[in-house]
Structure 1
């Protein structure tokens, strides 16, 4: 890693729009970053399409040879920068949320999000490997969205990277609601327990980056999530198991809209977790700063920070959402792109088996408890 490096983080409003419109907006932001002297420019999750969970997202996946990746390579070459951003990447018979690092000479590195968040599992498959990109500007580690709350991924990057980058489009679960076509919005406070980790998002990843001892770049989105759900009735059904007030709306599932503000967290932090530059407002914004790096790659000097929320919560969200939405992903991708898409993976089978066993244990425990009370 060079002794210093000018880095820029770009925040974009997450409202979906055409790829052409959003790439034009992104190009303006990248040009601003380059004018400020940035050598590394970080765009947020799904920067070229916007962020939602509805069926239109299935049409947005592209290959490595399509418009979005070609645009990234062109921009990196034009401005002589390394660029990072994610897209829904169609790879043979699967779709992934792939974060790409693109160098000015066209070389690229890829990280696939490993833990899709709830409804994201209906849109793309989970990845399997961390990425340590050995670029000309240093060794860069990448995490996307919900991945950043999984301590085992940070552990794998420790002592292996010079810089960590987190891309995200995290909705604020504490303010989530379901809006029917008529009447008042339905409070999703029951789901808030599952999504409450959103409030600890920034503090947790800063603690992990401090532990690793490297600077951190966070590129996120702003605005408000306002989306239908993929295959709405099938998507709403598992939610109704947690939020009983949704039962009466299963027949109207196609008209329900999930709404929540996004967590606005875009900034650049030094190795001690100190904010050097960060976004304070909504909308498309660019922040940049010169980062200093030590001569030698840091080694963690203490135990990994404790998770400030139950690990069982992460497992519950991961397992239940995988079991509930893997069939939605498979059915929707096949409907959009053909029967060869989305073969059932071994990981999906494990999630389904784990969930089935958990439900069976819970059922047996419930029966046993009732008998003991008699």
Structure 2
């Protein structure tokens, strides 16, 4: 599929109200996801994002990937024929992850566990150990989660692994929306791929989700309120941008090490 219909659901989530949040998410998914190829949701949209709450109730609120929330989203994805990127608090045994679950229309689920945790998250979540790409009916997706858009190397690694669309569930607070908007555009243009940054809103979160093309142009954007973003992504634009400026193919990785940086002494003008 070379042209995709993509939706980003910028939603609010009440901390701790999993049943209400999931009901709200499923209603939005069924209302706005019909006819789409890809739907992206915010970070931890099922539980809300509240670190103090996770200290007290994290084990209670987290769910395994075969739990009721992912199962319900998988059923909706199958009904709609769309791929869904779901932000969820995942429990695997006694370990808790901040996860983006990529749910395909055939009900298969591919979890990406946040690898680069924000400092305040280090005592609440375990860090994932792997980057992933997922081949879906909506093309090859590369997930990152919120703070991870601060690391250009992650996006470039995913681009080199064939990612066509970078999907970034986020929970960026009010006052820091510029980080979401600037970095999402930069990661898209740096690597000449599409990017979808879908952020929580309400409860201190800023919204300002956006969908960006491989040149860094914003195709759709939201303000601070709940919103549904839609855009058509022509995957052929990726190769056109990369042919025009083949930066990824011209990387010189041997130079990208601190020990490879030389220090030259000054030359005095006029010296022979």
Q: State the TM-score, normalized to the length of structure 2.
A: 0.82
* Matching of residues 154-303 of structure 1 within 5 Å: 154-159=155-160, 160-172=162-174, 199-224=178-203, 261-283=204-226, 285-294=227-236, 299=242, 301-302=246-247
Query: Take 1:279 and 1:296, find their aligned partners in 2: how far apart are those partners?
Result: 24
Alpha-carbon offset, residue 17 of structure 1: 4.4
The equivalent residue for 1:9 is: 8
Alpha-carbon offset, residue 60 of structure 1: 0.8
The equivalent residue for 2:95 is: 94
Query: Take 2:238 and 2:198, find their aligned partners in 1: how far apart are those partners?
Result: 26
Query: Take 2:179 and 2:197, find their aligned partners in 1: how far apart are those partners?
Result: 14
Alpha-carbon offset, residue 272 of structure 1: 1.4
The equivalent residue for 2:257 is: none
The equivalent residue for 2:72 is: 71
Query: In structure 2, the residue corresponding to 1:122 is in which secondary structure?
Result: coil
1:101, 1:109 within 8 Å by CA — same for their partners in 2?
A: yes
Is 1:105 aligned to 2:106, yes or no? yes
1:58, 1:123 within 8 Å by CA — same for their partners in 2?
A: no
Query: Take 2:138 and 2:13, find their aligned partners in 1: how far apart are those partners?
Result: 29
Query: In structure 2, the residue corresponding to 1:74 is in which secondary structure?
Result: helix
1:149, 1:201 within 8 Å by CA — same for their partners in 2?
A: no
State the structure with more CA Rg.
1
Query: Take 1:107 and 1:65, find their aligned partners in 2: how far apart are those partners?
Result: 10
- Per-residue CA distance 1:17-48 (angstroms, 9 max, x = gap): 4221111111121122224x211111111111
Q: State the TM-score, normalized to the length of structure 1.
A: 0.61
Query: In structure 2, the residue corresponding to 1:114 is in which secondary structure?
Result: coil
1:45, 1:220 within 8 Å by CA — same for their partners in 2?
A: yes
Alpha-carbon offset, residue 50 of structure 1: 1.0
Root-mean-square deviation (CA, aligned residues, Å) is 2.1
Alpha-carbon offset, residue 295 of structure 1: 7.6
* Matching of residues 23-34 of structure 1 within 5 Å: 23-34=22-33
The equivalent residue for 1:58 is: 59
Query: In structure 1, the residue corresponding to 2:208 is in which secondary structure?
Result: coil
Structure 1 pair 290–296 and aligned structure 2 pair: CA distance change class (3 A): closer
Query: In structure 2, the residue corresponding to 1:13 is in which secondary structure?
Result: coil
The equivalent residue for 1:38 is: 36
1:32, 1:286 within 8 Å by CA — same for their partners in 2?
A: no
Query: Take 2:142 and 2:73, find their aligned partners in 1: how far apart are those partners?
Result: 19
- Per-residue CA distance 1:103-160 (angstroms, 9 max, x = gap): 1111221211011212222221011111111123211101001111112211211232
Query: Take 1:26 and 1:296, find their aligned partners in 2: how far apart are those partners?
Result: 31
Query: Take 1:13 and 1:34, find their aligned partners in 2: how far apart are those partners?
Result: 17
1:43, 1:84 within 8 Å by CA — same for their partners in 2?
A: yes
Q: Say which structure is richer in helix.
A: 1
